[in-house]
Amino acid sequence: MGVSTCDPIAGVRRITVDFPPVNALPVQGWYDLADALRTAGRDPEVRCLVLAAQGRGFNAGVDLKEVQRDTAQGSHASLLGANHGCFEAFAAVYECEVPVVAAVQGFCLGGGIGLVGNADVIVAGEDAVFALPELDRGALGAATHLARLVPQHLMRALYFTSRTVTAAELHAHGSVWRVVPPPQLPEAALALAGEIARKDGSLLRLAKAAINGIDPVDVRRSYRFEQGFTFEANLSGVADRVRNAFGSQEKA
């Protein structure tokens, strides 16, 4: 359980997230992921990175139970930690010195959108679904990253309704590179990463920096702006009210 790394082929590092049962990451998990991403990017032997996950879903966002345990005791430590941890992990994907291929299976929710929205390429299983259910969880954020996957008005509709969008739909919008049967996902992601890794490593790093430099949106600043509203929702009590209602629905 946790964040693990391996080098399956020359020039490619795979980072795998495994936090059963649904890959909802605790505070430390986000920081561990950020550290693994930054370490991989600094390694001169790495020319491409695959971000993958174990289990039936790629990512279910923040571990809300960890946050609720703290807030029930009058502490905001986990909430602050989750926000800072997500900020670091999302930034580590975007700022990784080499291209990042996200291999997405099952559900990709909340913080998962932050990760894949900042990745360079997405390969998805046919079972993959993507959503930002933040309004149902007493949170806000990652519209910055959802806007990198779908057109502006669709992003707003998905955000306000918490509806899911399929891998096939994202492929039609051009944000998912390839959709494959779930058993073929690891091989497909690795094949693409291997193709990228055959390029000159120094040139790849220059290319990544150049592409980030012409990005029309500063993803760090944009996401940080969104996070301010998450804090406001928590301080006003709105977030606790919505989270508790969501927790009651889960138990029912």
CATH number at residue 158: 3.90.226.10
In a domain, 196, yes or no: no
Give the span between the Cα atoms of 165 and 168, in whole angstroms: 8
CA distances from 15 to 101, 162, 172, 222 (A): 10, 28, 27, 26
> Above 60 in pLDDT, residue 252?
no
> Above 70 in pLDDT, residue 247?
no
In a domain, 218, yes or no: yes
Summarised one tens digit per residue, pLDDT across range 237-246 is 898 888 778 7
CA distances from 176 to 8, 64, 111, 131, 190 (A): 23, 28, 17, 14, 15
Give the span between the Cα atoms of 145 and 149, in whole angstroms: 7
CA distances from 88 to 81, 168, 220 (A): 10, 29, 9
In a domain, 195, yes or no: no
- What is the model's pLDDT at position 250? 62
pTM: 0.94
CA 141 to chain centre: 12
- What is the model's pLDDT at position 71? 72
Summarised one tens digit per residue, pLDDT across range 55-89 is 999 999 998 888 778 777 777 788 889 899 999 99
Q: Single out the residue of 140, 139, 147 nearest to residue 130, CA to CA.
A: 147
Q: Single out the residue of 95, 126, 112 nearest to residue 52, CA to CA.
A: 112
In a domain, 92, yes or no: yes
In a domain, 194, yes or no: no
Secondary structure class of 241 (helix, strand, coil): helix
Residues 202, 141 contacting (CB under 8 angstroms): no
- What is the model's pLDDT at position 243? 78
In a domain, 193, yes or no: no
Q: Where are the alpha helices (H) located in the chain, listed in sequence order?
A: 27-42, 64-72, 77-95, 111-118, 134-137, 143-146, 152-161, 167-173, 185-197, 201-213, 219-236, 238-251
In sign, the C-alpha dihedral spanning 25, 238, 230, 100 is positive
Summarised one tens digit per residue, pLDDT across range 42-54 is 999 999 999 999 9
Give the span between the Cα atoms of 12 and 195, in whole angstroms: 10
- What is the model's pLDDT at position 251? 58
- What is the model's pLDDT at position 164? 97
Q: Single out the residue of 57, 43, 26, 6 nearest to residue 190, CA to CA.
A: 6
> Above 80 in pLDDT, residue 230?
yes
In a domain, 188, yes or no: no
Q: Give the domain extent around 162.
A: 2-183+201-251
Task: Write the DSSP symbol of residue 96.
Answer: -
> Above 80 in pLDDT, residue 32?
yes
Domain count, the chain: 1
> Above 90 in pLDDT, residue 176?
yes
In a domain, 58, yes or no: yes
Determine whether 10 is exposed, middle or buried from the number of CB atoms within 10 Å of its CB (0-12, 13-18, 19+): exposed
